[in-house]
Amino acid sequence: MRVEGGRTVPPSAAQVGRWAETPGRVQDLPAPDRQGTASWPGSHPGPGPRSPAGAGRLAASGRVVGRGSVAARVRDALVLCKPRIVAMLVFSGIMAAVVAARGVPDLGRLLGFVLAGSLAAAGAAALNQYLDRDIDALMERTAARPLPAGRMKAVLALYLGVMLSAAGVAAGFVLLDARVGGVLLAGVAVYAGVYTLWLKRRTVWNIVIGGAAGSLMVLAGWRAQRPDLTPEGWLLLALLFLWTPSHFWPLSLALRDQYARAGIPMLPVLASRKAAVVLTVANTLLLVGVTLLPAAWGFYALPHTAVLTAAGAGFLALTLAMAGPAGPGRDRLAWWVYKASGPYLGVVLVTMAAAALRKAGMP
């Protein structure tokens, strides 16, 4: 941004391109001004998901466009809570509970975890969207969300996030115990506070450190069944921590220009594409190695090791393919690596749970 004749002039398309292609400091990246009203070359006029500038003005003003039906409002509230991410986190916690119990977990405590974990994760997601509403308005991927699109008041999102988070943490303390409630509180604090409010806009390692939020949900599911951590418990924490960069770095490779425009210092924005791919491959190699470690102490039977070896080899090969020749296909491939990371995590967690059931004498 620069000022000419008393008015703010946005960066040119060439400048945005240089920011996206050249490694540099966070301060060098374009970002919305204090009112969130930055205008970008080529943006469509007026509010809406196809207009980052218009969405930025709506996100900053808190103005709501239209009332909408009750069903539409409920749908927007669900979108605010990121239900797919919540489902993935709670599923991870359930699988951790099965491994912790070395068989069928205590059903009452498992249901208590599902309720408390779902509420806490949904609240943290709503707080994340409330805090990120200005930069969400500058990315095509997120501009249609309820807050940047102007379909929900910011104060309502804040209220919903606080209430759901508080309800989830309280349910953890009341239905389970202080260990689980404390872990859920830490998870909300790490995701909404440490990651969203502090790290996301300040450091290239934002998503690496922020991956601790996923590990904490696994820890909550584990501690809902037993207080101590076995080697398998530590491995599950490491699994979620390492999976997060292998999930989000391909996404930021595919949407590099959008992250640069929003001023988010993701690894592919500040580093060269080659360096980002190399680090993603190295992280994925470590991730796959960690999933196979329990075979060393006999936790897996041969079929479990075979499944995890095949799944890990496939995911690693897909990640390696991102280093291919330049072209539009590379970005599409990075997007598919991002999409494939979720099913890969599911295969690993289900296989570990199946191994734990076998240890308990179940088929």
Nearest one of 230, 213, 219, 228 to 96, comparing CA atoms: 219
Q: What is d(CA 119, CA 123) in angstroms, rounded to the nearest whole number?
A: 6
Q: What percent of the chain has pLDDT over 90?
A: 74
pLDDT per residue as tens digits for the range 104-147: 999 999 999 999 999 999 999 999 999 999 999 999 999 999 99
Condensed to tens digits (0 to 9), the pLDDT of residues 60-89 reads 444 555 556 899 999 999 999 999 999 999
CA distance 81 to 270: 29
The pLDDT of residue 359: 80
pLDDT on residue 121: 97
How does pLDDT run across 200-216, given as a tens digit for each residue? 999 999 999 988 999 99
Q: Report the pLDDT value the prediction gives residue 39, as an integer from 0 to 100.
A: 29
Closest CA to 191 of 273, 131, 234, 269: 131
Residue 233's contacts (CB-CB under 8 Å, 6 or more residues apart) are 96, 99, 100, 219, 222
Q: Residue 20: pLDDT above 90?
A: no
Q: Is the pLDDT of residue 45 over 60?
A: no
Looking at residue 326, its pLDDT comes to 67
State the pLDDT at residue 330: 79
Least confident of 41-55, 59-73, 292-306, 336-350: 41-55
In this structure, of 19-28, 303-312, 345-354, the range with the lowest mean pLDDT score is: 19-28
DSSP secondary structure string, 113-172? HHHHHHHHHHHHHHHHHHHTHHHHTT-TTTTTSTTTTTSS-HHHHHHHHHHHHHHHHHHI
Query: How would you class 170 by CB atoms within 10 Å of its CB: exposed for 0-12, middle for 13-18, buried for 19 or more?
Result: middle
Q: Is the pLDDT assigned to residue 3 strictly greater than 70? A: no
Residue 354: the pLDDT is: 96
152: left (phi over 0), alpha (psi -120 to 50) or beta: beta
Question: What's the token pair of residue 115?
Answer: 């309720």
Place 22 in a pLDDT band, splitting at 50, 70 and 90.
very low
Q: What's residue 246's pLDDT?
A: 96
Question: How many Å apart are CA 254 and CA 249, to the nearest integer?
Answer: 9
CATH number for 72-228 (one of 3.40.50.800, 3.30.365.10, 2.60.40.1730, 1.10.357.140): it is 1.10.357.140
Average pLDDT, the chain: 84
Confidence (pLDDT) at 67: 56
Measuring CA to CA, which residue among 103, 40, 26, 66 is closest to residue 355? 103
Q: In angstroms, rounded to a whole number, what is the distance separating the alpha carbons of residues 258 and 44?
A: 15
Q: What is the model's pLDDT at position 325? A: 73
Predicted confidence (pLDDT) per residue in 145-199, tens digit: 999 999 999 999 999 999 999 999 999 999 999 999 999 999 999 999 999 999 9
Q: Are 354 and 304 in contact (CB under 8 A)?
A: yes
Give the pLDDT mean for 224-250: 95
Enumerate the domain spans of the chain: 72-228, 233-363
